[in-house]
A = this chain, B = another copy of it.
Amino acid sequence: MERLMRSIKIGINEKIYLKDPESSDLGKRIVEQSILMIHEMGFESFTFRKLGEQIQSNESSVYRYFENKHKLLLYLASWYWGWLEYKMVFATNGIPNPTEKLRRAIEILTQTVKEDVTFSHVNEVLLNKIVINEYSKSYLTKEVDLENKEGYFVIYKRLVQRLHEMIITVDKDYPYPSSLASTILEGSLHQYFLKEHFPNLTDCDDNVTPTQYFTDLVFRTLTPKA
């Protein structure tokens, strides 16, 4: 699995970048170091100037890969969701029982990223934390409809769609499968955030995981067909 993951390239919409960061050493350093820096200082404080210094290159060189830091965030997010999608498809493939399949999917999608599989230069553990703290900012903008039309969110949308399909396979009569799917994905990020910063607003802690909460929620909600 690890070896396999390492050899896969995640297909990201080419309009997100000016030059594919996977195509050069500098590009990989941009991705690698931006993850460390955004995690460290947060998205608002992160700038291309600082990144340039960090990678011992130049601001202007970074701009040749990404138009701006917003596009870089879209890139990192797409990478993350593409990686999760891959893990999910792999883990659920071949499970015949729809209930078990959905259960496994929820597990993959809502669990913490513990090990650094180190898919080349990308630190998935930190990337997961970045997504928890910053992903919303990538779509809560005035440009969202335009960017959606450009296809910048396709991977995330496909992931929700896959979850949606697993839900209706378990219970074809459930009336809100899309909403439930999007609630699981978005809600999971939120529960992780609350656990860290607003522990009173969640039941998740060291002993209770978002995975347990959402698994319980989904299977109380759905009525599996006989």
Contacts and interface: CB of A to CB of B under 8 A. Distances in A.
Interface of A: 41-42, 44-45, 133-134, 136-137, 139-142, 144-145, 148, 153, 157, 160-161, 175-183, 186-187, 190-191, 193-194, 197-198, 200-204, 208, 210, 213, 216-217, 220-221
Given A44-B142, A176-B203, A183-B183, 17 more contacts: A44-B141, A136-B136, A137-B137, A137-B140, A139-B197, A140-B193, A157-B200, A160-B201, A175-B208, A176-B208, A176-B216, A177-B203, A179-B194, A182-B198, A183-B187, A183-B190, A183-B217
Copies of this chain:
2
A200 to B, nearest CB: 6
Contact of A175 (B136, B183, B198, B203): B203
A141 B176 CA distance: 32
Contacts of A141: 42, 44
Contact of A178 (B44, B177, B181, B200): B200
A66 to B, nearest CB: 18
A7 to B, nearest CB: 31
B217 A201 contact: no
A197 B142 contact: no
A144 B195 CA distance: 13
Nearest to A40: B142
Contact of A204 (B139, B177, B179): B179
Contact of A197 (B144, B175, B193): B144
A103 to B, nearest CB: 17
Contacts of A161: 200
User: Which 4 residue pairs are nearest across A and B when measured between Cβ atoms?
Assistant: A42-B142, A136-B136, A176-B203, A182-B201
